[in-house]
Amino acid sequence: MPNDHALILAPFSDNQLARLRLELGVTYQSWMDSRKLYGPDELAQRLLEENCSVLVIESDFAFAETFEQVPGLRFVGICRAATNQVDVEAATKCGIVVVNTPGRNARAVAEHTLGLMLALARKIPQSHNYVRDGSWQDPTEPYTTLRGIELHGRTVGIIGLGAIGLLVAEICHAL
């Protein structure tokens, strides 16, 4: 039986959990299933109850008070790019390694960006509201006021070519 034990509160696939269980003990409770996010003190209590040295989160909060209460904690993995819900400086002072996952959902964000571009170019929100509100009285009005533009052949400006920006450029190039 592995010595280290992980509390995993971020969504994980069964396949990845099985791989982790080969290396360490795992307690899994995705916040997406439980709809529960832990605050710093409550998280510390859970880590102590489970005797965890590893914590993997997506949206829970871990601050100095968490780390000070759990001296056996050695690793915090954040399953997202942002680290604002973890006090990285306090963790470092306590000797805890913190890692995050920049670019983890870059494709989803890039596709969402394309969806927003299409919505703006084709006036989709305005058209939706027009029909929903029963404004369609004159049969020619939608053709004159809600006519959008095509994105094909247009120049798109992308500020920043990180993981998301590069994927947006790739998708737009395919148009």
Q: Domain-by-domain residue ranges, the chain?
A: 5-99, 106-174
Rounded to an integer, what distance in angstroms lies between the CA atom of residue 159 and that of residue 16? 34
Q: Which residues, at least 6 apart from 148, have a Cβ–Cβ distance to it below 8 Å? A: 121, 122, 123, 124
CATH number (3.40.1000.10, 3.40.50.720, 1.10.10.60, 3.40.228.10) of 5-99 reads: 3.40.50.720
Contact 2, 25 (CB under 8 A): yes
pLDDT in tens, 93-132: 999 999 999 888 899 999 999 999 999 999 999 999 999 9
The phi and psi torsions of 25 (rounded to 5 degrees) equal -70, 145
What 3-state class would DSSP assign to 58?
coil
86 DSSP assignment: B
pTM of the model: 0.74
- The encoded tokens of residue 167 equal 């994927």
Task: Map tokens 């997506």 to a residue.
Answer: 58
pLDDT in tens, 38-55: 999 999 999 999 999 999
Residues paired with residue 62 on neighbouring β-strands, in sequence order: 86
pLDDT in tens, 3-40: 899 999 999 999 999 999 999 999 999 998 999 999 99
